[in-house]
């Protein structure tokens, strides 16, 4: 860590999920008119990167893996205040699960830029696994901390942060470099400024292909993915079930029985 921090923020483009709906008849996701956006959890990662840069100096580079159109997500990150944007895009990366995705992101980070800190969102709103951050840290050979809700201090190559587990808040310390996955409590992401948007429009998005990475073809895309999707289906929707009437006592009993049936009491 010479001049400021080299920060990399990993982001993903996702469909705006509040709008995603499943067409029961055709069995498809309704995608017409559904906007592709920066994964909402990643906005907190971008914001944290920018705040750290403002505090300590340095650079914030954003990295994504996805189809060519994912560059618009990277431009959104530039508009918020990130410096450079990299898109790992290649048909050979297609069909990647979290293992192959994190391998590819890891190679991209190792090949392209020196780094002190990699920031990821806690999970994505589409895949919803939260696995890429910790798996990426393994591929980089550095530690990882999940659910980070505050980065307290970075000094002399050391980082101090807090994370929220189910039952406790921990204050942790580690040496850089490190990968962290940040939670929504960590900050309030800023909106892009007009100047940021103008800059984003003009920024060159650096693309990375499998050749650039000299990636092991058995570790990227579908070939590098230990898992396979075998079936996609609509969950059983709660369509009007039992509508019951009766005395308050009877109704309370019916609700109780339902709760018992659901194993929550």
Partner 1 sequence: MSELPISVDKEKCISCSLCESACAFGSLVMEEGYPRFLDDCRLCGECVTECPTDAILIEEAGTEVKLSNYKGILVFAEQWNGKVHPVSYELLGKGRELADQLGEKLFAVIIGSELSDAVKELTMRGADKIFVFDHPELEVFRDDPYSAILEDLVNEEKPSIFLIGATSIGRSLGPKVAACLETGLTADCTSLDIDPDSRLLLQTRPAYGGNIMATIICTNTRPQIATVRYKVMKEAEKDPTNESEIIKKTVDINDIPDRVKIIDFSPAKELVSIIDAEIIVSGGKGMGDSKGFEVIQELAEALGGAVGASRPTVDEGWIEYPHQVGLSGRTVRPKIYLACGISGAVQHLAGMKTSDVIITINKDAEAPIFSVSTLGAVGDLYEIIPRLVEKIKERKKNV
CB of 142 to partner 1, least distance (A): 8
CB of 233 to partner 1, least distance (A): 5
Please, are residues 35 and 15 in contact by the beta-carbon 8 Å criterion?
yes
The footprint of partner 1 on residues 45-84 (CB under 8 A) is 66-69
CB of 234 to partner 1, least distance (A): 7
The reply on whether position 125 binds partner 1 by CB under 8 A is yes
- Which of 126, 190, 197, 206 binds partner 1 (CB under 8 A)? It is 126
Laid out side by side, the sheet with 117-121 consists of: 158-164, 144-155, 178-182, 117-121, 5-11, 58-65, 84-88, 205-208
- Which of 35, 191, 194, 243 binds partner 1 (CB under 8 A)? It is 243
Please, are residues 110 and 79 in contact by the beta-carbon 8 Å criterion?
no
Cα dihedral sign for 93, 99, 102, 108? negative
Secondary structure of residue 236 in the 3-state scheme? coil
The footprint of partner 1 on residues 82-121 (CB under 8 A) is 90-92, 94-95, 97-99, 102
Token pair of 165 as six digits? 């587990």
The reply on whether position 254 binds partner 1 by CB under 8 A is yes
Query: Does an H or E element contain 160, and which?
Result: strand 158-164
Nearer CB in complex with partner 1: 7/148: 148
The reply on whether position 17 binds partner 1 by CB under 8 A is yes
The reply on whether position 29 binds partner 1 by CB under 8 A is yes
Region of 3-11, 25-33, 79-87, 195-203 interacting with partner 1 (CB under 8 A): 25-33
114 exposed, middle or buried (CB, 10 Å; 0-12, 13-18, 19+)? exposed
Region of 24-32, 50-58, 107-115, 186-194 interacting with partner 1 (CB under 8 A): 24-32
Please, are residues 220 and 88 in contact by the beta-carbon 8 Å criterion?
no
- Buried-exposed string 142-163: b where 16+ CB fall within 10 A, e elsewhere: bbbbbbbbbbeebeeeebebbb
Number of residues that bind partner 1 (CB under 8 A): 101
Region of 49-57, 108-116, 197-205, 249-257 interacting with partner 1 (CB under 8 A): 249-257
The reply on whether position 44 binds partner 1 by CB under 8 A is no
- Phi and psi at residue 246, to the nearest 5°: 155, -170
> If we measure between CA atoms, which residue out of 148, 207, 192, 161 comes closest to residue 43?
192
The reply on whether position 235 binds partner 1 by CB under 8 A is yes
Secondary structure of residue 1 in the 3-state scheme? coil
The footprint of partner 1 on residues 211-230 (CB under 8 A) is 217-218, 221-223, 225-230
Distance (Å) of CA 194 to CA 62, 172, 242 = 20, 38, 53
CB of 81 to partner 1, least distance (A): 27
The footprint of partner 1 on residues 140-179 (CB under 8 A) is 142-147, 160, 164-175, 178
- Which of 3, 202, 204, 263 binds partner 1 (CB under 8 A)? It is 263
The reply on whether position 135 binds partner 1 by CB under 8 A is yes
């Amino acid at each position: 860590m010479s001049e400021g921090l080299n920060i990399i923020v990993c982001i993903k483009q996702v469909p705006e999920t509040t709008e995603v709906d499943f067409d029961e008849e055709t069995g498809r996701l309704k995608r017409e008119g559904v906007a592709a956006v920066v994964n909402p959890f990643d906005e907190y990662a971008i914001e944290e990167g920018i705040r750290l840069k403002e505090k300590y100096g340095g650079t914030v580079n954003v990295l994504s893996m996805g189809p060519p159109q994912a560059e618009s997500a990277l431009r959104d990150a530039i508009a918020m205040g990130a410096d450079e944007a990299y898109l790992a895009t290649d048909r050979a990366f297609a069909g990647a699960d979290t293992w192959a995705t994190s391998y590819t992101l890891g190679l991209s980070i190792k090949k392209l830029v020196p780094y002190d800190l990699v920031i990821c969102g806690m999970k994505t709103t589409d895949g919803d696994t939260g696995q890429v951050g910790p798996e990426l840290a393994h591929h980089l050979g550095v530690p990882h901390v999940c659910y980070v809700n505050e980065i307290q201090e970075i000094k002399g190559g050391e980082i101090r942060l807090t994370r929220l587990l189910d039952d406790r808040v921990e204050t942790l310390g580690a040496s850089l470099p490190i990968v962290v996955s940040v939670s929504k409590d960590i900050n309030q992401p800023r909106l892009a400024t007009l100047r940021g948007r103008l800059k984003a429009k003009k920024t060159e998005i650096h693309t990375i292909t499998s050749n650039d990475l000299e990636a092991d073809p058995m570790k990227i895309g579908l070939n590098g993915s230990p898992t396979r999707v075998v079936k996609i289906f609509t969950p059983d929707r709660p369509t009007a079930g039992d509508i019951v009437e009766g005395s308050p006592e009877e109704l309370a009993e019916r609700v109780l029985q339902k709760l018992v049936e659901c194993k929550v009491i």
